[in-house]
């Protein structure tokens, strides 16, 4: 099966305190065969990159307004006069607050939305075709 991948390398900032942060190289990835999810890989000073997967809708909404609860929360903010998107991630290994440039995240999300428009995710999974086939029997 053919699918499309939309990737973007960018530098995030791991927020340690209001005054301190460290740069974290990251890769955003979206695959049309997994149309509801976005994948973020962080290369933090370790041999093993850290992978997070969460809802694309959550990230789209988080660019404009605070959303999410539990393990992943996303909200827009200003940092030194720039628009940023903050992502608060919690896991059993610990919590992280990451700051991403809003313009770069938005541009990447727009590319994913052109590949699979909002509301068309189910079609990508072929569920409709399978249902039609089942009902036709």
For 6-60, the pLDDT digits (tens) are 999 999 999 998 889 999 999 999 999 999 999 999 887 777 888 999 999 999 9
> pTM for this one?
0.84
Range(s) of the domain holding residue 28? 5-129
Task: Inform me whether the pLDDT recorded for 62 exceeds 80.
Answer: yes
Q: Is residue 11 part of a domain?
A: yes
Whichever domain contains 97, its CATH number is: 2.30.31.20
- Quote the pLDDT of residue 111: 96
Q: Is residue 136 part of a domain?
A: no
Terminal alpha carbon distance of the chain: 24
Task: Provide the pLDDT confidence category of residue 86 given band limits of 50, 70 and 90.
Answer: very high
- Quote the pLDDT of residue 135: 78
Q: Is residue 112 part of a domain?
A: yes
| 72-79 β-sheet, strand order | 50-55, 37-42, 21-31, 5-15, 94-101, 82-91, 72-79, 67-69
Give me the number of domains the chain comprises.
Answer: 1
Q: Is residue 134 part of a domain?
A: no
């Amino acid at each position: 099966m053919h699918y499309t991948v939309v990737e973007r390398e960018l530098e995030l900032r791991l927020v340690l305190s209001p005054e301190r942060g460290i740069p974290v190289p990251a890769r955003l990835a979206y695959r049309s065969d997994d149309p509801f999810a976005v994948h973020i890989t962080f290369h933090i000073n370790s041999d093993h990159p850290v992978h997070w997967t969460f809802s694309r809708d959550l990230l789209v909404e988080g660019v404009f307004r605070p959303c999410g609860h539990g393990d992943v929360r996303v909200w827009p903010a200003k940092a030194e006069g720039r628009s940023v998107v903050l992502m608060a991630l919690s896991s059993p290994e610990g919590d992280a607050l990451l700051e991403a440039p809003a313009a770069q995240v938005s541009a990447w999300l727009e590319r994913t939305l052109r590949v699979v428009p909002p509301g068309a995710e189910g079609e990508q999974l072929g569920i409709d075709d399978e249902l039609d086939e089942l009902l036709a029997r």
